[in-house]
Structure 1
Amino acid sequence: MMLRRSKSRTPAPMQTVDDRFQYGPSEHAAYQDRGYYLFDHFLTPEAVADYQARVRDMLARRHESVPPEMMIGVHQIEPWIFDIAAQPKLLDMIEHQIGPDILLWASHMLCKPPHTGDAVPWHQDAPYWNISGRFSAGVWIAFDDVDEQNGAMSVLPGWHKKGTFPVQDSHSIKGFHSEIVPAQLPDDLDQRRVPYILNAGQMGIHDVMIPHNSPPNTSDRWRLVLVFRYIAADAQLGPNTYHNYKNGQPFEREFTLMRGRDVQNLGLRRSPFEKSTA
């Protein structure tokens, strides 16, 4: 009697984005009006658990010269992070905002340690950058529960429409050298600001001109957040140098063509992990 050998089943691939995540006309209108939007659903519970473990492994392997708040350009180092940035439903949202030709130009793993995370002063994003064009919203994905005790970011609704604010010198965090002049902010700041209170797996987006800040992490918990930044492919693109979180070595920023056409014929790759055609 011959026994049939049972066939091993290949496990189904992990679903990253929750089926309930959507970005339609109502979400887009609210984002344009307020300058930010908070989503109840983005990552699946399975993805959250997987990514939490991966980030903690990154922190364990982090070179001592790279602060946990300053792990930048990580999508050029970790394929799983690039895979999140390339999720079709996420790119659909970005296309709704800036059109079909999309570049990914930055990622930032913002890990605030318990009791030691720095405060970030009130600032706007775009004035700090050496690139310009049609920016998407900044994508802010919570890998941990986020509240004001562990350093939730706050925004000023509607203030993305007020232009560029004057700044003054600031030394409140590594990498931040200026902040919005306090007199430019509203007297009732505490009443107007909206904190990003998020559960792990939820997401917020914010306009590149909206004023925002975050307090130090005074809790016993980490605050693990991943940020992505996209721009339309016809942008003016400037160079930048980051430091590899694994070894502290410098590497150059790469602009990755996520969707659509390389409209400036720059020879852009569609993944940091494919061979260059240059």
Structure 2
Amino acid sequence: MPKLLSESEVATYRDNGYHFPIDALGAGEVATFRRRLEDYEAASGGPIKAEMRHRSHVLFTWIDEMIRHPKILDAIEDLLGPNILCWNTSFFIKEARDPGFVSWHQDATYWGLSSSDVATAWIAMSPANKISGCMKFVAGTHKEQVQHEDTFDKNNLLTRGQEIAVEVDEARAVYVELKPGQASLHHVLLFHGSEPNRSDDRRIGLAIRYIPTHLKQAVGQRDWATLVRGKDTHGHFLPAHVPKRDLEPAALAFHKEVSEEQVKVLYRGTGKSAYRA
């Protein structure tokens, strides 16, 4: 019996590769989380950048709280089962009237994980709609991995500016419009992308990557994850740091180590050794 999604919603996710919306965070919760992000940005002199956008849950207590949110985990359990790891988190932020975009791609392309049994919960921290550059999905495209090409386009928010090297039927695109606090779920192989933000507000999204505990890192020598529900009897991932306070020294040191290892996987074959700014 599903915990949050209905049986028909789970079946539709299996067929289409996505489900939305989920009313995940309350208005007060998401407003607080956005304020915490923007307080950090104000203190650091500008928008969160480069490696700080990734695996941020090991740096900030409030993001660690988000990855453990019961409503999100209930939905993920309906898709992946009771034993769940948070493998990664990534901010996708488009400033107001910014040309930044995300090309059509599949998440799994460069992650190095042993299986496509991976689900992303994408949480809107500001309005995500057609004007602000919400995500768009193509239903049923999660059945197989396709070839990608790297562009390193300066306006592409992806690590390598990667884009699908086969034709994508734009007419089939489904726009994933979300209110602040709502979330969408999508399969790691689903074709998805997003257009620039033409609104006067920032478009802020946090993507949380969840995996069942049986997965492995198949490319990198080491990898880390956070157990957020159930038990991990496999031990394929080292336990990630859990922050007791924001940006504590132990968290910063751990994040540096993890980021260096992840860059080796994500940018393999390119000669690059750091996240794009």
TM more than 0.5:
yes
Instruction: Select 1:194's aligned residue among 174, 189, 197.
Output: 174
1:57–1:239 CA distance, 2 compared to 1 (3 A)? farther
| Structure whose alpha-carbon radius of gyration is higher | 1
**What is the alpha-carbon root mean square deviation over aligned residues?**
2.9
SS at match of 1:170: coil
Q: Distance between the aligned counterparts of 1:238 and 1:228, measured in 2?
A: 20
Query: Structure 2 length as normaliser, TM-score?
Result: 0.77
- Give the aligned residue type for 1:185: V
1:1-278 equivalent positions in 2, closer than 5 A: 22-62=4-44, 67=49, 71-133=53-115, 135-161=117-143, 163-172=144-153, 173=156, 175-181=159-165, 183-186=166-169, 189=170, 191-237=171-217, 254-265=224-235, 268-269=238-239, 272-273=242-243
Query: Structure 1 length as normaliser, TM-score?
Result: 0.76
Q: Which has the higher helix share?
A: 2
Superposed CA deviations along residues 113-161 of structure 1, whole A, max 9, x for unmatched, are 1122511111001122122235332101101111122211111011112
1:28–1:69 CA distance, 2 compared to 1 (3 A)? farther
Q: Distance between the aligned counterparts of 1:63 and 1:98, measured in 2?
A: 39
Aligned residues of 2:148 and 2:163 also touching (Cα < 8 A):
yes
Aligned residues of 2:122 and 2:208 also touching (Cα < 8 A):
yes
Cα deviation for residue 85 of structure 1 reads 1.0
- Give the aligned residue type for 1:169: D
Aligned residues of 2:129 and 2:178 also touching (Cα < 8 A):
yes
- Give the aligned residue type for 2:106: Q
Q: Distance between the aligned counterparts of 2:116 and 2:206, measured in 1?
A: 21
Q: Distance between the aligned counterparts of 1:210 and 1:266, measured in 2?
A: 25
Aligned residues of 2:56 and 2:63 also touching (Cα < 8 A):
yes
1:66–1:26 CA distance, 2 compared to 1 (3 A)? same
State the identity %. Answer: 31
Superposed CA deviations along residues 175-212 of structure 1, whole A, max 9, x for unmatched, are 2242112x4322xx1x2101111111111111111111
Q: Distance between the aligned counterparts of 2:216 and 2:237, measured in 1?
A: 15
1:23–1:115 CA distance, 2 compared to 1 (3 A)? same
Q: Distance between the aligned counterparts of 2:219 and 2:100, measured in 1?
A: 27
The count of aligned residue pairs is: 240
Give 5+ residue unaligned stretches, structure 2.
Answer: 245-249, 251-277
1:62–1:30 CA distance, 2 compared to 1 (3 A)? farther
